[in-house]
Amino acid sequence: MAKPIKITETVLRDAHQSLIATRMSTEQMLPIIDKMDKVGYHSVECWGGATFDASLRFLKEDPWERLRKLRDGFKNTKLQMLFRGQNILGYNHYSDDVVEYFVQKSIANGIDIIRIFDCFNDLRNLETAVKAANKENGHAQIALSYTLGDAYTLDYWKETAKKIEDMGANSICIKDMAGLLLPYKATELVEALKEGTSLPIQLHTHYTSGVASMTYLKAVEAGVDVIDTAMSPFAMGTSQPATEVMVETFKGTEYDTGLDQNLLAEIADYFRPMQEDALKTGLLNPKVMGVNIKTLLYQVPGGMLSNLVSQLKDFKAEDKYYDVLEEIPNVRKDFGEPPLVTPSSQIVGTQAVLNVINGERYKIATKESKKILSGEFGQTIKPFNKEVQKKCIGDVEPITCRPADLIEPQLAKFEKEIAQYKQQDEDVLSYALFPAVATEFFKYREAQQTKVDANVADNENKAYPV
Ligand code: CO
């Protein structure tokens, strides 16, 4: 029986986030979306994750405007975004009214599928976003942050899948951000999830450790429904397996995607010069294209490794790299063995650096480490190390409820704070997530508009001298 595999194309989000620091601009995307719309992808992931921050901060673009332009162009294809549960696209927990409004506006501006995850897989942190997506008739996909450790048994994944189905999600994604899922483990995992739920299962992985396309092959054979791939110029390395390769692999089999390889080749031709330019300017470091076997040894996402190198440089302690790599699993254990994904990856990584640099563990604990140990990010799979907790937060009583239950509604306050810059409803959400960066962007936007107005006035004066 034919069981065509569906493809989510990531070139407009994860692929450029993973390879070129999220620097692909809307202008670079627009000329090709007409062709991409004809492919017949299950969905195109094009928004959320780090794209929102990067648009405002580095590209001086309004992310909402980008979404509307993509929606205009993609007439037949579902648009997908990545959403960090109660963190939305930021690094803190937000009140429910902000989460609900963000979901509502994302869907109103064109998103069809919202992939929602939490760095601890604490399902309580996903509830509000899932409910909001259901209410707006969006597709709520819950992504399980995949990681290794003795607590993460097949039974754990299976039980979690059951709970996700009960929560009202429309599908489940295995989110393997570090490329840790090995081919034969993928078979077991997909089979376990399929036992736990009847929801469609999608697989998202990265090529970092070099096994990704084999993992897809085994997962597909085990019954996975959708895989995430990227057009070849932005595939492999720390990105996803190449779309064309996976399409060709399944051609003529019961899993045939039915996608047109000639059309894909034309799309790849469009992206290739962009990749070559990025190599020339150094935006794309050839190093990230290779196999990073350390990611398997240390179970650390590729992005985290490059962060460590730059943090150690700041301390002039590059020689401590391997000490830090060895300290990471210890910190992770002290913090209840969470998956390492934004923001837990940054928090654990930074704490490991401090522990090594200071020559004493938790002599200095970051604000974020204290937040984790106070329960402010939610519940981890294992308890925290009591001694470490005591050393970092003293006698403060940790919270055990859903963290957002303790956060008062924030939207009205944010509205007041940005009133003078507001040009569209969505501006308050940009501000809520990245107050300083958004404010700077709003000022830049105003300055640009004044410039344009002045030019128009200037030209009018020339044309119609008075
Ligand atoms: Co990813």
Q: How far is the CA of 204 from the centre of ligand 1 (A)?
A: 7
Residue 465 pLDDT: 43
Separation of CA 240 and ligand 1 centre (Å): 8
Distance 449 CA to ligand 1 centre (A): 36
pLDDT digits (tens, 9 = 90+) for 445-459: 999 998 877 776 665
Between the CA of 383 and the centroid of ligand 1 the distance, in Å, is 27
**Ligand 1 centre from 456 Cα, in Å?**
44
Cα 6 to middle of ligand 1, angstroms: 17
Whole-number Å distance, alpha carbon 134 to ligand 1 midpoint, is 24
Ligand 1 midpoint to CA 239 (Å):
7
> What is the CA(69)–ligand 1 centre distance, in A?
23
How many angstroms does the Cα of residue 175 sit away from the middle of ligand 1?
7
Q: How far is the CA of 195 from the centre of ligand 1 (A)?
A: 25
Please tell me the distance between residue 177's alpha carbon and the centre of ligand 1 in angstroms.
5
Q: How far apart are CA 453 and CA 463, in angstroms?
A: 15
What single letter denotes the amino acid at residue 264?
L
Please give the Cα distance from 320 to 331 (Å, whole number): 16
- For ligand 1, the distance from its centroid to the CA atom of residue 403, given in whole angstroms, is 25
CA of 238 from ligand 1 middle (Å) equals 9
Task: Walk along the chain (466 residues) in steps of 10 and give the mean pLDDT of each run.
Answer: 94 95 96 98 97 97 98 98 96 95 98 97 98 98 96 97 97 96 98 97 96 98 98 96 98 98 98 97 88 82 76 91 92 96 91 96 97 96 97 96 97 98 98 98 95 68 48
CA of 105 to the centre of ligand 1 (A): 23
Residues in Cβ contact with 444 at an 8 Å cutoff, skipping those fewer than 6 apart: 60
**Rounded distance, CA 202 to CA 185, Å?**
15
Using the mean position of ligand 1's atoms as its centre, give its distance from the Cα of residue 359 in Å.
34
How many whole angstroms from 148 Cα to the centroid of ligand 1?
A: 17
pTM equals 0.94
Compute, in angstroms, the gap from residue 445 CA to the centroid of ligand 1. Answer: 31
**How remote is the CA of residue 301 from the centroid of ligand 1, in Å?**
10
